[in-house]
Amino acid sequence: MTDKWPSEEGFISEGEIVSLFKATAAVSKGTLVRLTGDLEVQPATASSDPIGVVLKDGATGEIVPVCEHGVCKVKAGGAITVGKAVKSDDSARAVVLSDQAVNEGGTNTYTIYYARKAGVALQAASVADDWILVFVCK
């Protein structure tokens, strides 16, 4: 595990949007979370739509800050190339969101998962559990 920005914790830049949510399951700092109800979050999964990055550990029922927009330290779930869009894996870590080919002239229909995108990797990750900066944006 490598921390690509070791001198800082949590969110990095000015102008973030950080909101408070109630955790409906235990959450870990630097991982992606998804909505489960009105102002409620739990760890995101590969098939969920993340709302942001939780900025501190929290137990079930605790109020936790979530970065919904801005530059945050995020735990990677594997190798990530700089500039790639990221989504959640089943452990709420950031992984590459693959592009989907679309045949606009054909008769096939495609599902494009815009809501799966959590942000853009500002640093590369080499292996799972590396800490990188991600621009959290939808």
* Structural domain contains residue 2: no
Percentage of the chain surpassing pLDDT 70? 82
* Structural domain contains residue 9: no
* Structural domain contains residue 117: yes
Q: Please tell me whether the overall predicted TM-score, pTM, comes out greater than 0.85 for this model.
A: yes
Is pLDDT at 132 greater than 90 in this prediction? yes
Q: In sequence order, what are the residues at sequence separation of 6 or more whose Cβ sits closer than 8 angstroms to the Cβ of residue 79?
A: 96, 124, 125, 126, 127
Domain that holds residue 23: 17-136
Do 12 and 4 meet the contact criterion of CB atoms below 8 Å apart?
Answer: no
* Structural domain contains residue 102: yes
pLDDT digits (tens, 9 = 90+) for 57-99: 999 999 999 999 999 999 999 999 999 999 999 999 999 998 7
- Which tokens hold the place of 106? 């054909």
DSSP assignment of 89-129 equals -TTS-EEE-------TTSS------GGG--EEESS-B-STT
Report how many domains make up the chain: 1
Span 85-114, average pLDDT: 81
Is pLDDT at 12 greater than 70 in this prediction? no
- What is the rounded CA–CA span in Å between residue 94 and residue 31? 7
CATH number of the domain residue 101 falls in:
2.40.300.10
